[in-house]
Amino acid sequence: MRSEFEKMLAGEVFNPLDLDLRLRREVARLACAKYNAHPSKGNLRHITRLLGSFEQLQIEPGFQCDYGSQIHCGKNVYINFACVLLDSAAIYIGDNVLLGPGVHLYTVDHPRDAQQRAEGICYAKEIRIGHQVWIGGGAKVLPGVTIGDRAIIAANAVVTRDVAEDERYFG
């Protein structure tokens, strides 16, 4: 029988209250807390050890993620203060990407049917962010969204659909 973690990675319905998933999130929370309490290059390793892959990135304090293992960053990625990356599915961030303060990337979603929500199930869809993208402060990117190269997302926008290359998205 497949674990809830395996179901989550496969994009299937999963139970986020599963003990293994809760323990994995706790590991990520503790790593983020260590870095956020004393931000330094040395303490950044607590977060980078979690990440699925990265080339070159800077993360400001206040960073939070669910697992970290589903986050993949290219070169010259800047993640500003208080960003939240909920990575129940993969998050791919291209080269030369700027995330403004308080940007949230949500891969996890819940059923629209109230009875299914009451059962505690959820699912996740990956987020893809191209190269040279700028996402303004406070923006929220919802599950399944792809943002094309060189796009600009306005501050406080809620991104509910794919954004084309070079597009300016105001939400």
Instruction: Write down the catalytic residue from 46, 72, 104, 110.
Output: 110
Burial of 170 (0-12, 13-18, 19+ CB in 10 A): exposed
Tokens of 118: 């009451």
Across-strand partners of 29? Answer: none
> Cβ(131)–Cβ(167) under 8 Å?
no
Q: What is the dihedral of CA 63, 17, 30, 97, to 10 degrees?
A: -20
Task: Kindly give the interhelix angle for 41-48 and 19-37, rounded to the nearest 10 degrees.
Answer: 170
Q: Tell me if residue 110 is catalytic.
A: yes
CA distance 3 to 15: 10
Number of Cβ within a 10 Å radius of residue 19: 9
Token pair 């993640």: residue = 79
Across-strand partners of 59? Answer: 79
Which residues does the annotation mark as catalytic?
110
